[in-house]
Structure 1
């Protein structure tokens, strides 16, 4: 009996030792949800524009995808600070771009990456998927100061939104990039020159909607739409002929995400801030985000609603 108890004790001890020696299961590596992401940004496109403008192409993306018309810009609600936040996954307190026309950080960036600026979504792709193509096609030249030029395969500053769109589409069709960032300068121009909430402003909004429709149509024609996620958003809204203030008309922006292999949630309940865009793109492409980013993926887009 004593012999049996000793053997039993040894067996139990061996089981405990073997269990403790087993390595902890490694965290499952993120898997890409899509092959391609297109980030379309329309300068000065306030969320309030949806109340009066005719935007059938954007509304279709909203109906078949997920959206918020209560997403928020960071403060100040102006251009460079918000475009930087959108692709840098953090606010101005960390990346340091604090003014509408910032070309270099007024506040020293908390982190400096290999591209000599605060790391953007492009540097994440470059580090984790070095073979992946990526590009930026933009109309406002100020965008050119906000990303790592040495890490992209397309750096095109178009003279018009139409040409910016055409060059981006050529790049997408021919190169099949992981990420394409398209920046349109309208309706910001009309907002400053004529005024927000004017017929001219809404006409410019409707032209942006046409450009979005052309992008979707081209992707479909080249059999790319099934593997693509499209995010449409803006940097800020505006009142009168200006922006940068703390009113909802200036701060609230549209945030729309669409993909044929993504769940269609419709109106989102999540509180979306513009720096969540970079983190959401990273999640779509199966990339790990750095600890110093403050943005979070908008997980409501991906998770099924609780029963």
Structure 2
């Protein structure tokens, strides 16, 4: 009897062991997911996109082992709406976040139209990417800037490192004004480093569970506070293509160092080979800090310098290294792409406006031509010489890119701008009068898109508006 009991016990133990082992094996084989979303990093602020001023060796090496995109776009030209597009997989009219804070930016007498009211918070009814991944068994961690609600843990993140509704840290040196949850040990503890310390602790804790890490450091957003130890190397460095801000350069290099620490940890844990990585920025660089030439303007503008961003994908042995693509893509594509990589079905009633890029990334299958759209029924102050508007970076309007053509329509006076980005990436030559057939075609597509997604457009005249003085 004892022998039979021992045999039954042994069978039970082996059975439990095998189930546990199978479960661990299944988890280990499930791809880990990592989005690196740098704040306000411009299209040319990294070496792999051509910068000879900023130093980003870790980012460049990782990019060289994956596929970089030369025509990658943010869903909007500033922080909150772009992040809402990425996390929801939807165009701005679906979630209603068009800008940061109020849509009535600038002086009231300068605004001809009453802009559409802005949503400061993402709706709790909107099923975000981390919620789907958590439901599929992923351990989910947010690190850095969230900006879409008060607490990212209400949207599918099990761990939150420094995320809140704050759009900037207030200070990168302690006390971190807008990031009180991160505690410094000494007065020289730089916030970006502190956040990465916590990220590395998270990586150490995941064991064999598949994880989704959304690493969105506050850097390189203002305030411009240099990493003091790096300043000397940039004090006499030659400027390149309008890039010469040494304070900003130290912030760029430091964020590269932190990413290097993350990649090293993933290697040490044996996780890098099974991690799908997206690197991007939430919008273009700030024009008075860093130039993106030949792209026009910067953050807040719907010219290329405001919406085109550095982007690459990495997945060892599945995405070919040293590869580049000129296919226009958007951060709305990340949601379906990550679900595809993780072999997770899209929730049945969830509307996704992007497409999965996995066939392009892993099989070089170029997707069918499609239009990319932007809708910005708001005002955003801070114009400059490249926006050719001293008052606003953005006035109410919409934009469309299809193929090599890009059209911008402004609602105040129905002004139209048309550019051929293949021959005029600088957007200096408005071709709206010489190509009326292209204008008609793109306007038809833009109008149909706005109709389908019920995009609100401002039509009410501001009674306090004063014609150009």
Q: Give the TM-score category using the shorter length.
A: 0.7 to 0.9
Q: Is residue 2:311 matched to residue 1:255? A: yes
- Tell me the CA shift for residue 35 of structure 1: 2.0
Change beyond 3 A, Cα 1:223–1:150: same
Matches within 5 A, 1:9-158: 34-50=30-46, 51=51, 52-75=53-76, 77-101=77-101, 106=118, 116-127=124-135, 129=136, 131-138=137-144, 140=145, 142-145=147-150, 147=152, 149=154, 151-157=156-162
Deviations 1:102-128 (A, max 9, x none): 8xx93599x96xxx242111121234x
Structure 2 match to 1:271:
328
CA–CA distance in structure 2, aligned partners of residues 180 and 212 of structure 1: 13
CA–CA distance in structure 1, aligned partners of residues 255 and 120 of structure 2: 35
Aligned residues: 264
Structure 1 match to 2:344:
287
Deviations 1:223-266 (A, max 9, x none): 11121112111101221157211222221111111121322151
- Tell me the CA shift for residue 144 of structure 1: 4.7
Change beyond 3 A, Cα 1:67–1:137: same
Q: Is residue 2:362 matched to residue 1:296? A: no
CA–CA distance in structure 2, aligned partners of residues 40 and 244 of structure 1: 21
- Tell me the CA shift for residue 289 of structure 1: 2.5
Structure 2 match to 1:163:
194
Change beyond 3 A, Cα 1:191–1:96: farther
CA–CA distance in structure 2, aligned partners of residues 101 and 196 of structure 1: 29
CA–CA distance in structure 2, aligned partners of residues 282 and 84 of structure 1: 17
Q: Which moved more, 1:175-184 or 1:146-155?
A: 146-155
Stretches of structure 2 that go unaligned for 5 or more consecutive residues are: 1-27, 103-116, 163-178, 183-190, 227-241, 290-297, 367-469
Change beyond 3 A, Cα 1:45–1:167: same
Change beyond 3 A, Cα 1:278–1:117: same
Q: Is residue 2:274 matched to residue 1:227? A: yes
Instruction: Tell whether the 8 Å contact from 1:36 to 1:229 is kept in structure 2 after alignment.
Output: yes
Q: Secondary structure at the match of 1:264?
A: coil
Q: Is residue 2:208 matched to residue 1:202? A: no
Stretches of structure 1 that go unaligned for 5 or more consecutive residues are: 1-31
CA–CA distance in structure 2, aligned partners of residues 254 and 188 of structure 1: 16
CA–CA distance in structure 1, aligned partners of residues 306 and 224 of structure 2: 11
Instruction: Tell whether the 8 Å contact from 1:236 to 1:251 is kept in structure 2 after alignment.
Output: yes
Which is richer in helix? 1
CA–CA distance in structure 2, aligned partners of residues 46 and 108 of structure 1: 24
Instruction: Tell whether the 8 Å contact from 1:47 to 1:253 is kept in structure 2 after alignment.
Output: yes
Q: Is residue 2:203 matched to residue 1:172? A: yes
CA–CA distance in structure 1, aligned partners of residues 219 and 276 of structure 2: 22
Instruction: Tell whether the 8 Å contact from 1:48 to 1:249 is kept in structure 2 after alignment.
Output: no
CA–CA distance in structure 2, aligned partners of residues 101 and 231 of structure 1: 28
Q: Secondary structure at the match of 1:302?
A: helix
Q: Secondary structure at the match of 1:48?
A: coil
- Tell me the CA shift for residue 215 of structure 1: 0.5
Instruction: Tell whether the 8 Å contact from 1:85 to 1:275 is kept in structure 2 after alignment.
Output: yes
CA–CA distance in structure 2, aligned partners of residues 91 and 48 of structure 1: 25
CA–CA distance in structure 1, aligned partners of residues 255 and 275 of structure 2: 20
Q: Secondary structure at the match of 1:47?
A: coil
Structure 2 match to 1:4:
none
C-alpha RMSD of matched pairs (Å): 3.0
TM-score (norm 2): 0.51
TM-score (norm 1): 0.76
Change beyond 3 A, Cα 1:255–1:200: same
